[in-house]
Structure 1
Amino acid sequence: MSKEIIYGLVLSGGKSMRMGTDKGAIVYHELPQREHLYHMLEEVCDKTFLSIRSEQVNEMPKGIHYILDNNEHRGPYNGILSAHKKYPNVAWLVLACDLPLMDLKGVKQLIAERNPKKVATAFAGKENRLPEPLCAIWEIEGLKQSITHLINGTSTCPRKFLINSDVHLVFPAEEQILLNANSKEEYEEAILKLT
């Protein structure tokens, strides 16, 4: 397949323990957040999917494409590598469902600054310069290397993998789009920024 092809993946299969309610179902922009991000990625990706757990299937609206987590890996790698296993010959633009301030402008910037020769192109904050693995374009080679990384038992953290890999960092024009809403306090912060 062409290196130009990018599939979109909204990670929404987490248990949302800190939030106390499904983060993907929270409405910030008239739709549940996972659907809002899904439709945003549909505008810029060749195909788009939600990454979900099997018990979430009945919650999926008609017409939404999804990939079930295979439960072969822990944490976010579960969704990312389940998608890679199903479609191994494409790059994946991955967004976590807990990014309430992410917008189309930001997604387009990430795509415009993509470097397919690196293992991934990831957003990063200007100060900490740490790659955001759940707001990134993962190249095929990066996903293959991730599997080896997990088999070797080094770490199950996708950020640690990216920190130690050849990654292209992109600094968003509006850094607030990287706000993660994982708790009630962060939810309230996001709501304030959106009003």
Structure 2
Amino acid sequence: MISKEHKKHASLTRPALGSFARNEWAIVGAPCINIKLLAADVIAALSPQYKCAYADTSHNDEVTLPPGRLASGAFLEYTDQLNYHQFNFNNGLRPINFKHQFTDADLVLVNGNHQPAKAQVVIIYNNKIASLQKRVDELTNVELILLADNVDDVFDFIKEAVPNWQQLPMYRLDETEKIINFFKTKLQNARPAINGLVLAGGQSIRMGVDKGTITWYGKEQRYHLADLIKTYCDDVFISCRADQQTAIEDGYNTLPDTFTGLGPFGAILSAFREKPDSAWLIVACDMPLLNKETFDHLLKNRNPSSIAAAYESAFDGFPEPLITIWEPKSYPVMLAFLAQGYSCPRKVLINSDITLLKAPDNEALTNVNTPDDFEKIKRQIHQKIAST
């Protein structure tokens, strides 16, 4: 007999996404041309620093043929234009498709006359009273009110729908600089918090002993690194295999791999699975020369608009993935690489938009993977300690 009892889905922490992205505002209450012009002003001002996007709906009510090869039956067409790239879809996009397309956006402005977003900007415009009343149920998180030229007060039905309307910033529609600064401040305050992850779950086959347990500075390296990075992070975790958890000292958080068999790639994904809205400062325990200056420089030059901030390897010029700040937007990117059969964090960095930095001290990025490496670095560390 087969049980028909409902089986619950796995308990997963979902990213704090709206209809399109984490930071999105529907602009509602004005003619579409005013919304387009306002969005253009904000995007022009913020795009040098942030990846900005816009979502709207066409007003073309006529029955027209689909563009290009879609008219011949293709479901998708891509065109490499001279100064932009164009995708045409035949089938409608589902909500999850929008989140995928906008995954890299820092800011999404939406024409709220046609589509919703998780936060709203309400324009009080006399000629759009009826339209705004139709969408009053969509005003779930109003964060800014704008008054058009011919308006001096907020509509009564908005006051009822938005109980905290008097505490919200309110500008005139032509106060462009104030409006731009509103969005700039919102994006600055939305900068993701950073957690730390010490990678200590490897097999250490070449070394012959667990590299995380090697003592370089009076304590095991996994604890030394966790203590070193905690000043930069909200929380610090030691990444490990499930069978290693009981060996970790009390007082140190553990984060066992849930993406198993993937090495560091799986450890990073496991961290994002736990906290998908945090950035993660990843550090491998096989770099005993890492110091405060190396971390200071990395954090100082962090850029949440890119998917990661990493150092350039002095050995081959490629990004060093295991002392890197991985931003939340890198999570879906890494999953997409995994879906295509790639599990190399460096390959993700090489093929993505990242902030690539020169290390203040290239020697600090030295890996220790073999007994010969161990002896060499051990002598180097002892000499430094003796000289100081």
1:32-111 equivalences under 5 Å are 32-72=220-260, 74-111=262-299
**3-state SS, counterpart of residue 13 of structure 1:** coil
**In the alignment, what sits opposite 1:7?**
195
- Counterpart in the other structure of 1:115: 303
The partner residue of 1:164 within 348, 351, 357 is: 351
Query: Secondary structure of the residue that 1:172 maps to in structure 2?
Result: coil
Q: Deviations over 1:29-66 (max 9, x none)?
A: 11100000000111111111000111111211111011
Q: What's the counterpart of residue 143 of structure 1?
A: 331
Report if aligned partners of 1:3, 1:90 keep a CA contact under 8 Å in 2.
Answer: no
TM-score, L = length of structure 1:
0.95
**Deviation larger for 29-38 or 1-10:** 1-10
- Structure 1 residue 72: deviation in Å? 4.1
Q: 1:4 to 1:86 in 2, by over 3 A?
A: closer
TM-score if structure 2 supplies the norm length? 0.49
Cα distance, 1:90 vs. partner? 0.4
- Name which of structure 1's ranges 62-71 and 25-34 shifts more when overlaid on structure 2: 62-71
Distance verdict in 2 for CA 1:99–1:117, change over 3 Å:
same
Moved over 6 A (4+): none
Relative to structure 1, the CA distance from residue 53 to residue 72 in structure 2 (aligned partners, 3 Å threshold; closer, same or farther) is closer
Distance 1:125 1:29 in 2: 25
- Separation in 2, partners of 1:175, 1:98: 15
Mark the runs of 5 or more structure 2 residues left unpaired by the alignment.
1-15, 17-189, 383-388
Distance 1:94 1:138 in 2: 7
Conserved? CA contact 1:93–1:135, under 8 Å: yes
Point out which structure has higher relative CO (alpha carbons under 8 A, 6+ apart).
1
Could you say which residue in structure 1 is the equivalent of 2:48? none
| Cα shift readout 1:127-155 (whole Å, capped 9, x = no counterpart) | 632101111000111122001110121x2
Separation in 2 of the partners of 1:33 and 1:41? 12
Task: Give the length in aligned residue pairs.
Answer: 194
Q: 1:177 aligns with which of 364, 367, 370?
A: 364
Instruction: Give the Å deviation of 1:167.
Output: 1.2
Gaps of 5+ in 1: none
8 A Cα contact 2:287 2:366, kept in partner: yes
**AA partner of residue 26 (structure 1):** I
Q: CA deviation at 1:4?
A: 4.2
How far apart, CA to CA, are the structure 1 residues paired with 2:276 and 2:287? 26
Give the AA of the match of 1:186: D
State the Cα RMSD in Å.
1.4
Supply the distance in 1 between the matched residues of 2:215 and 2:308 (Cα, whole angstroms).
29
